[in-house]
Amino acid sequence: MTTLSPQIDHVVITVSDQLDQANYQYQKLGFTTTPRGHHSLGTSNNLAIFTTTYLELLGFEPQNAGKVDKSWCFADGLTGLVFKTKDANKLYQQLVSQGIKVEGDGPKSFFRPVELNDGTKPEARFKTVRLDPSYTPNGQIFFCDQLTPELVWRKEWQTHPNGVININQVIIEAQKPRSSIKLLEKTFPLANIIEIDGGVRLKAEDKFIDYLTPSAIQHLFGSSISKANNDQDRKVALGFTTKSLAQTQQALEKGKIKYNLQNDTIIVPASETYGVVMIFSQL
């Protein structure tokens, strides 16, 4: 049996029927976003592509409201944490053998046309394996098998006015961090998990996934954080590595985005981002 290694593929920010507005807002935040994509499952998206990860704004256009995959019905905000896999079918069987509940009776396949600069629209294809929704009621944790990565990580989409080059951190608010991280500990048995102030941290290569108590979250972000709809675990913040904080600051000011400088980082409140605090730190 292959030991799974935690590698972040992308994160999902749900924006429901506000895709146009959200896409414009993220451009004001200094992200270069891709042309609108349309999934075979009824949802649509715009992406911000980085070196090895990407950010997905996921929603739906009004005419497709009735076609949307009902498994993704969450309040707006950071709802998806997605890990990489190169073999969704084998992964599915392995997770089941490890005693981890998985949604459905196998990987889910879907596609979306990708609009390229040369005017062509080839299909990007994916297979996903989702951990059972009961584990993460305010969102999902799943794996994505990128069958056509060359249609996602394209150089023309990887330069951002805010200087961002990658996602480096996902922060999850949890009443009991040690208990909540057991899901990832079971999924990735050899993962490096350490105690940190206010919670616990899983190291995913050079990136961090932190589970922090509500009081620790409040201490870190104060009024920048969005209000919780319930007391279940929720993904609340994203960290980004930028080439230059000065470049990030310039982009945010150009977009008239509110932000705070804090301990050599720039913090953008959830009110500016459709529900997720953003932390920018320099490489």
Could you report the per-residue pLDDT of 21-64, keeping only the tens digit for each?
A: 999 999 999 999 999 988 877 789 999 999 999 999 999 888 87
Q: How sure is the predictor about 185, in pLDDT bands with cuts at 50, 70 and 90?
A: very high
Q: How sure is the predictor about 72, in pLDDT bands with cuts at 50, 70 and 90?
A: low
Distance of CA 227 to the CA centre of its chain: 19
pLDDT at position 85, please? 96
209 within 8 A of 201, measured Cβ to Cβ: yes
Alpha-carbon gap, residue 117 to 35, rounded angstroms: 10
For 8-157, CATH number out of 3.10.180.10, 2.60.120.10, 3.40.50.720, 3.40.50.20 equals 3.10.180.10
Domain ranges of the chain: 8-157, 164-282
265 within 8 A of 279, measured Cβ to Cβ: yes
The sign one gets for the Cα dihedral 254, 260, 261, 265 is negative
CATH 3.10.180.10 fits 164-282, yes or no: yes
**Element spanning 11, H or E:** strand 8-16
pLDDT at position 1, please? 56
Mean pLDDT within 194-211: 97
pLDDT at position 66, please? 74
**Element spanning 13, H or E:** strand 8-16
Residue where the block lists tokens 């390229």 = 116
Residue where the block lists tokens 């009735």 = 66
Residue where the block lists tokens 């899901």 = 183
Mean pLDDT within 221-225: 95
Q: What is the mean pLDDT of the chain?
A: 94
Alpha-carbon gap, residue 14 to 19, rounded angstroms: 9
Exposed / middle / buried, residue 38 (Cβ in 10 Å: 0-12, 13-18, 19+): middle
Tell me whether the CATH fold assigned to 8-157 matches the one assigned to 164-282. yes
